[in-house]
Structure 1
C-alpha cells in the first residue's frame, strides 16, 4: 500500500523529470505547482510564443491504467479554465495556449518512462 508521503514524493519526482525533459526540448518554465481555489497547474511553460500548461501524471505500475489515461475530459476542461485564470492573474498575453500531457511510468526502463503528448486540449 502506498502512503500519501510516497505518492507525494512520486509526484514530485515525475514533475521534476517532466520539467527537465521539457526544458531540454527548449521550453522555459514560468511556474510550477500554481494553485488557486479551483485547482492546480503542475507546470506552466513558454514554448516560443506559445504558453504551455502541462499536466504531469506519474504511476508506479499499470494497475490503474497508463498515466495518460488518468486525464479525463473533465480534467482537460478544468485545465483550460485554470490556464485562463493563470494568464489573467499573471498578466501574461498569449496568442496561443496549448495543453500538453506528460505521463511517467515508473515500471518501465528509464529511457522509456516519459511520454510527452503535445496539444491535447
Structure 2
C-alpha cells in the first residue's frame, strides 16, 4: 500500500508543475493583451539570463517597461502584489538594465510594472496594472 501511495504522489507532481506553468502562461497572455491594448509595444516575452527572467519587456513612448506578471486563482496564499519584495524589485531593475545593455539601448527612463491577474473559477480574469513599482 505504501508503494501505491508513493507512486501516486510522484505521478501527480508533474501535473501540478504543468498546471502552474499553464496558469503562468495564461496570465502572461492576459497581461500582454491588456498592455498592448493600452498602447504599450511588446518587445519580448520570457527573456532569460543567468540572473533571472523578465516576463514581459515593453515600450511606452520612450520608456522601457519591465513587467512582472503574477497570476493567482485565489487569494488564499496572498495577493499577487505581496509577492513583489524589495529584493525582487532590485533584481527586476538589474535585469531590465541588462536587457537594454545587451541590445545597445539607452532608454531615458526604465520602469518596473506589475500586472496582477486573478483567474476565478468562473467569469473573466481580473487584471490590475500597477505602474512604476520602481
Same fold (TM over 0.5): yes
> 1:109: how far off?
4.2
Match of 1:17 in 2: 30
Q: In structure 1, how many angstroms separate the alpha carbons of the residues matched to 2:63 and 2:50?
A: 25
Match of 2:66 in 1: 53
CA RMSD, aligned part only? 1.4
TM-score, normalised to structure 1's length?
0.94
Cα separation, partners in 2 of 1:71 and 1:98, compared to 1, 3 Å? same
Secondary structure of 2:133's aligned partner? coil
Q: Which of these residues, 44, 51, 54, is aligned with residue 31 of structure 1?
A: 44
Match of 2:19 in 1: 6
Secondary structure of 2:117's aligned partner? strand
State which structure, 1 or 2, has the greater radius of gyration over its C-alpha atoms.
2
TM-score, normalised to structure 2's length?
0.85
> 1:110: how far off?
1.6
Q: Which of these residues, 88, 91, 111, is aligned with residue 98 of structure 1?
A: 111
* Per-residue CA distance 1:58-79 (angstroms, 9 max, x = gap): 0111111111111111100000
Q: Where is the helix percentage greater, Structure 1 or Structure 2?
A: 2
Q: Which of these residues, 87, 105, 122, is aligned with residue 74 of structure 1?
A: 87
